[in-house]
Amino acid sequence: MTRLGDQIEELSHEVDLLLAGHDNRRVIEQIETAIDELEPTSTSLERALGNRRVLRTSPRDFRLDTFADEEERLCVRLRQSYASMRKAWLEDPASLRQRGHVAQFRQSSENYRAAVDRNNEASWSSWIQDLEQQFLVAGPQLESIRNVLDYRDPIARYKQGVDQFSVLTRAIPDDEAGLNAIRALASSLRGIREGFIFDLPKVVVSFYDALDRDGSIPLIKLTPEVADWLQKNDGVRDLAIIRRRVPRQ
């Protein structure tokens, strides 16, 4: 289908020809008003179709085929409405608006635009949810490991990345580069998450809680189970043994 903006531009061009041919101000004003009424519709439809073009640049199909029948039906109606408006323009330009052709065409355009927008958003939301499931960690889970194995910095970077992801995915990007940025960020967050160790033994959690609270812990508190866990998870490198100085008698 010819781009709606091109069709409106074509009508505008014919207004210019009309101006050059005679001075029928009533006809000219009618058509100029019709063009002004259609301009917002043209802009919103171009935006919706622009979003659709961006979605189709992804290797993933965004499940757009689900909506093909609905959109095709509305697109057919839009073509028919444009043909009727075009015919009315050729027969009697002065009555273009009075006979309701402009309003009908505008409504058909809005119906089609609304369907495209709705389907774009449904597909977009589904994709974002799929990405989030790959890296999201519940707040309580993060807090449960915050003091373990010096996770403070990775957790801070993780939270910052999640906030950035939320900002980037508020709306469909304008181009493929925007999609790539979102995918790259999701991959980075997934990598950070994979470095976390959850489901910690209770004795390990208690050990780190005491260490974080008091700043140090007697060696007698380092049980074989905790020592074994530290050894297997490279936690020993974050600890140091400090000899307590005993005053000389």
Residue 81 has pLDDT above 90, yes or no: no
For 195-248, what is each residue's pLDDT tens digit?
Answer: 887 777 777 777 777 776 776 777 777 788 777 777 777 666 666 677 666 555
Assess contact for 109 and 45: CB atoms under 8 A. Answer: yes
How far lies 78's CA from each of 90, 95, 106, 159, 165, in Å?
Answer: 18, 20, 9, 46, 37
Asked if pLDDT for residue 73 goes beyond 90, the answer is no
Q: Characterise 200 by phi-psi region: left (phi > 0), alpha (psi -120 to 50), beta (else).
A: beta
Question: Over the stretch 2-60, which tens digit does the pLDDT of each residue have?
Answer: 566 666 666 566 555 544 444 455 555 656 666 677 778 888 888 888 888 888 876 56
The pLDDT of residue 243 is 61
Closest CA to 195 of 236, 142, 154: 154
pLDDT of residue 190: 95
Q: Model pTM greater than 0.75?
A: no
Return the higher-pLDDT residue of 73 and 249: 73
Give the C-alpha separation, 148 to 196, whole Å: 10
For a pLDDT cut of 70, what percent of the chain falls above it? Answer: 70
- Domain boundaries of the chain, sorted by first residue: 4-120, 136-194, 202-238
Q: What is the dihedral of CA 35, 37, 39, 42, to 10 degrees?
A: -110
Predicted local confidence at residue 184, as pLDDT: 94
* Total Cβ atoms within 10 A of residue 117: 18
The helix (run of H) or strand (run of E) holding residue 28 is helix 25-55
- Residue recorded with tokens 């100029």: 32
